[in-house]
Amino acid sequence: MPAYLLPPLGGNPSSNAQGTNPGSFARPPELGGPRTFSSPDAAGMPAPSEKTAWDFLPSGWRRDAATGFATAPPGFAAVTQLEHARLGHVTKEMRRVSEREGHLSPEQVRDEVAAGRLVIPANRVHAAQRLDPMGIGRATRTKVNANMGASPISSGTDAEVEKLRWAERWQADTVMDLSTGGDLDATREAIIANASVPIGTVPIYSMIIGRRIEDLDDRMILDGIEHQAQQGVDYMTIHAGVLYEHLPFVRRRLIGIVSRGGSLLAKWMIHHGKQNPMYTLWDDICEVLRRYDVTFSIGDGLRPGGLADATDAAQLAELETLGELTERAWRHGVQVMVEGPGHVPFDQIEYNMKLQRRLCHGAPFYVLGPLVTDIFPGYDHITSAIGATAAAYHGAAMLCYVTPKEHLGLPKKDDVKQGCIAYKIAAHAADVALGIPGARDRDDELTKARAALNWEKHFELSFDPDTARAYHDEDLDVDTDFCAMCGHDWCSVRISKEITQFVSGKEAEYAWDKPKLSAALTPAQRAILEQRGVLAPADIHRLASKTRERVHAAPGRKAECHSDVASDEEARRLQGE
Ligand code: SF4
C-alpha cells in the first residue's frame, strides 16, 4: 500500500492514456451541465448558477418538454446561432466548431450554445467571407485573443493587417481591432476582409473620433454600432455594466478606472448626471446585434488596474450588472460572453472565475490576463500568463493576451508573437490540467521524440520550430543523441535509455550510422540567432551556409561530435554489476 492517496481523478487528457500519469486532478467532465470541464472548488467558492440561457427565452417562446427544444412564435425566422440552437438546428458553423474541437459532437456544440455556455462569434457578413467559425466556451479548448490596432501615435492600416497575419500565424483564435488612430473605418474593413478568425471591436472608440465624449448621444451610439455590424464585426465590447451608482466605489482605488470605455462613459455620466447610455439603450443595442448575429462581449469597465483594487466593491457591483445584461441579451436571442479582469492576486483568481460563472449563468468568461503582480513592466506577458493559466483552469473560456509592451506602448510585430505564445502556453496548460480529451496528445508525441533523441521530430512538434531549432544549433549543430545542455556524458535521456533498454544512441527507427550534421539554418532561424546576439556574425553565417566539408564532416569521416560510445554489451555488463 502506498503511503499516499491521490485526489479524485477527472478525465485523461491523453487520447490513449499514454505514459504513467494517472489522469487529470480536475473534476470529471460534466458536459451538458454547468461545470463541463472544471477545477475542484476550493472552500468558499460560489456554486454554479442553476439557470442557463434556457431560463431567459424571448417572450412568446416556449420550451417543449418532450424534445427539449423551443418553439418560436409563428413566422419567426432564426438569425443567431443561439436562436438556431434553441430551435434544435445544427448549423454549419456548429458542425465546423465540432470538427475543430474533436471531442464535441455537432449536437453537443448546439446544446452548449442553447444553454448560453458556448458562443460562435460569426457575424453573417464576415461568415460569408473568409471567416472560419470557432467556438468559445467551457466545453471547448481555451481560446486566445490578440489585441491590435493603430493608435493616434503609431501604426496604420497596412501595419495592422500585417499584425493580423502575424497573430494568425501564431495561432490567435480571435483578434480585436482596438484602433483609436489613423483611418479607423478603413483599418477595420481591411482587417475583417483579411481575417479567417473572428474580429472584435470596442465601438465607442470610433464614436468619439472628432468629438468630445460629452457630445455622444443615443443616435450616434446606435448608428455607430450598426455601422460596425454591417462591416462584419463578429463580437463587440459594450461597457454597459458601469452604472452611475457604481462610481462612488472607485474613489478610494489606487488607480481608478483603467478601462478606456469605462473611463469615457464615467466621464459622460458625471457630465450629464445621467445613467450610462449603453445601459439605458441595452435593448436597442441587442436588436442591432441580433440582426447580424454579432456576439456581445460585455465590457468590464470597472476592472481593477492594480492588485490593490482587485475584487473590490466596484468590480463586483459591475459584475452583478453584467449578469443582468446577460439575461436581457439572451431574451433577445443574442449570444453573450462577459469580460473580466485585469490585475488580480493569484489567490483570488478562482473566486473571480466562479463568481462570474454564478452571476452570469455560465456565459463564457473572457479575461484580460490577469496580471498577478504589478512590478514587472516589460514582462507583463509573463506576469499575466501566470494568472491566465489559473483563470482558464478555474473557469475562463478565452484569454486576452498581454504583450511585453503592455502599459508601455503599442505592441509591435515581435510583441504580438511573444504575447500569442505566452497565452497559447497558458491556454494549453489549462486544457491539459482540465483533462480535455486529446489535449495532451502533442505533448506526449514530443515527449516520445525527446526520449528517442529524435531532434527533427522534436522541432517539428514544437509550437515554434524555428526558435527550437535555432537555439539547439547555436551550441551544437550536429544531430546527435545528446545536446549542449548537459553534453554526452551527462545526458540523462541517453543514460536512461542505456538503463532501461540496454542500448545507447537513438531509437532504432530514428537511428543512423553516425551522428550527422544538422541542415543549414533557414533565413528565419538565422534571424532568430542574429537577434539573440550571442554568436558572432561569422558563426551564424557558418550555421546558415555550412557544407559538410566546412565542418570537417566530409563523407567517410566521422563528425567531431559523436555519441555512440556505449555498446549493448557494455550496457548489459554495467546493468549486471
Ligand atoms: S543533454 Fe541534457 S538537455 Fe540535452 S537531451 Fe540530454 S538530458 Fe536532455
- Chain-centroid distance of CA 423 in Å reads 6
Indicate which atom in ligand 1 lies nearest the CA of residue 453: 5
Contact criterion met (CB below 8 Å) for 267 and 214: yes
Q: Which of 140, 141, 104, 135 lies closest to 122, judged by CA?
A: 135
pTM metric for this prediction: 0.92
Q: How far is the CA of 47 from the centre of ligand 1 (A)?
A: 46
Fold of 53-434: TIM Barrel (3.20.20)
Q: Which of 379, 374, 314 is nearest to 344 (CA)?
A: 374
- pLDDT score of 269 more than 50: yes
Output the pLDDT for position 30.
Answer: 95
d(CA 336, CA 324): 12
- Name 155's Cβ contacts closer than 8 Å, sequence gap at least 6: 149, 163, 181, 182, 410
Look up cell 473590490; give the residue.
312
Q: Which of 492, 494, 495 to mutate to test the pocket of ligand 1 (most atoms within 8 A of CB)?
A: 492
> Which three three-digit cell numbers place residue 310?
482587485
177 and 148 Cβ atoms separated by less than 8 Å: yes
| Residue 563: predicted pLDDT | 41
The closest-lying atom of ligand 1 relative to the alpha carbon of residue 491 is: 6
**pLDDT for 506 beyond 70:** no
pLDDT of residue 547: 56
Q: Is the predicted pLDDT of residue 551 greater than 90, yes or no?
A: no
Q: Is the CB of 496 under 6 A from ligand 1?
A: no
Instruction: Give 106's pLDDT tier (boundaries 50, 70, 90).
Output: very high
Nearest-angstrom CA–CA distance, 253 and 259: 14
CA distance 391 to 377: 21
Is the predicted pLDDT of residue 180 greater than 50, yes or no?
A: yes
189-205 tens-digit pLDDT:
999 999 999 999 999 99
Start-to-end CA distance of the chain, whole Å, equals: 30
How far, CA to CA in Å, does 392 sit from each of 11, 48, 70, 381, 473? 16, 16, 32, 15, 35
Q: What is the mean pLDDT of the chain?
A: 92
Q: Give 560-575 pLDDT, tens digit per residue.
A: 433 444 455 655 565 5
What confidence score (pLDDT) does residue 433 get?
98
Confidence (pLDDT) at 481: 83
Cβ(482) to ligand 1 under 6 A? yes
Give 339-393 pLDDT, tens digit per residue: 999 999 999 999 999 999 999 999 999 999 999 999 999 999 999 999 999 999 9
Is 422's pLDDT higher than 60? yes
> What's the rounded mean pLDDT across residues 126-133?
97
Q: CA 317 to CA 329: how far, in whole Å?
A: 19
Tens digit of each residue's pLDDT (9 = 90 or more) over 48-104: 999 999 999 999 999 999 999 999 999 999 999 999 999 999 999 999 999 999 999
The domain locations on the chain are 53-434, 442-576
**Which of 482, 489, 507 is the pocket-test mutation for ligand 1 (most atoms within 8 Å of CB)?**
482
